[in-house]
Amino acid sequence: MTETALDRVARALDLIPFITAHPGLSVIEIAERFNSTPTQISKDLSLLHMCGLPGYSHLELLDIDYEDPNYVAVTDPQVLDSPRSLTQLEAVTLILGLQSLTELASTEEERSTIAKLQERIMAKYGAAFIKSIQIADAIVDSPNNAMISRAITTESWLDMRYNSVSSDSITHRTAFPLDLEYQSGVGYLYAYEEATESTKTFRIDRILDVRILDAVEAPAGVDVAHLSRTKDRWEDSNVSSVEIETGPEGFFFIERHNEIVISHQKTATGYLISLRVIPGEWLVRTLLSWPGKVAILEPIELANEVDKRLKRNLTNNA
């Protein structure tokens, strides 16, 4: 994104207190912290060097030491010695971030420290928007989060009881946790599984219980420092194209399964939807359980399988 007119003024005003607080950084290091380039930061510094208080004698100008790009310091910040106050957007970001952190805290003490901090920011910067933005439910809603988070921090193996909904089974899994991520309200754990020697994605809300393995119990001989952290679930070569037709409520199918929908088209009676997905048990059950009308156009084997199960289901229930 190109820099807007005011971005530069904002950065320039923030550079002085930042360098005052961190004297001796190089232009390259400063550029990294400000998500900018060394050339741009050097230009900013020479511009700031010309700025100051009315009078503009050497006593009133900002005094910046930047001749050596490896050592930048502010000798006299004049009135710019403190960072600017938070904007509404910045305060909202911090408040929402702190709220999520309270949910991730692993001890009561941590939780209380973060909650107090959140109240402090809210009291000082939140009055104007407190009614405009709210989180209606817990963002991180699994009691196992703190334990998993701790295991990632301490690089420990986990023993989990996991409910795989696609295969309708509950199994014990030994895995080395790599990352925890939230997407659309669902938490995912990426972990290396010893048994299959591969990286797997676990839905946090389906981990029934979890415990950290001690050094004696943990699998030996796995070079955990060099595990691949690839998260691309669709690298699997079994991915194929599936075409389905739905009624008008297909809109909600597209919304819910957005990550597998590659295109959709409105028709007189509903939607034609193309999916890119592994046509396994998960897909069969997803189509079976969709509460609206759905017809599978391609591939025919999938259509037959879903049809067979629907008929069996109907015979059972009728």
Rule CB under 8 A: choose which of 28, 127, 262, 310 binds other proteins.
310
Q: How far is the CB of 237 from other proteins (least distance, A)?
A: 26
21 binding other proteins? (CB under 8 A): yes
- Cβ-contact 146, 100 below 8 angstroms: no
The rounded distance, in Å, linking the Cα atoms of 157 and 163 is 19
DSSP 4-37: PHHHHHHHHHHHHHHHHHSTTB-HHHHHHHTTS-
Listed residue (195, 179, 198, 176) closest to 187, CA to CA: 179
180 binding other proteins? (CB under 8 A): yes
Q: Enter the tokens of residue 60.
A: 């009133």
How many residues at the interface with other proteins, by CB under 8 A? 108
The rounded distance, in Å, linking the Cα atoms of 142 and 51 is 53
Rule CB under 8 A: choose which of 78, 174, 240, 274 binds other proteins.
78
53 binding other proteins? (CB under 8 A): yes
For residues 102 and 218, which CB has a smaller minimum distance to other proteins in the complex? Answer: 102
Site track for other proteins across 107-136, x = CB under 8 A = ------xx--x--xx--x---xx-xxxxxx
For residues 134 and 228, which CB has a smaller minimum distance to other proteins in the complex? Answer: 134
Neighbouring residues of 86: CB distance < 8 A, sequence distance ≥ 6 = 94, 121, 125
Site track for other proteins across 247-266, x = CB under 8 A = -xx-x---x-----------
Rule CB under 8 A: choose which of 58, 67, 89, 265 binds other proteins.
89
For residues 84 and 234, which CB has a smaller minimum distance to other proteins in the complex? Answer: 84
Helix axis angle for 88-104 and 108-125, nearest 10°, is 170
Listed residue (143, 139, 208, 148) closest to 180, CA to CA: 148
Q: Give, in order, the Cα–Cα distances in Å from 12 to each of 85, 97, 155, 317.
A: 15, 26, 40, 71
Q: How far is the CB of 95 from other proteins (least distance, A)?
A: 8
For residues 36 and 218, which CB has a smaller minimum distance to other proteins in the complex? Answer: 36
Within 189-248, which residues bind other proteins (CB under 8 A)? 206, 208, 248
For 105, half-sphere exposure in the C-beta direction (CA atoms, 13 angstrom radius) is 16
Rule CB under 8 A: choose which of 2, 35, 228, 238 binds other proteins.
35
For residues 136 and 220, which CB has a smaller minimum distance to other proteins in the complex? Answer: 136
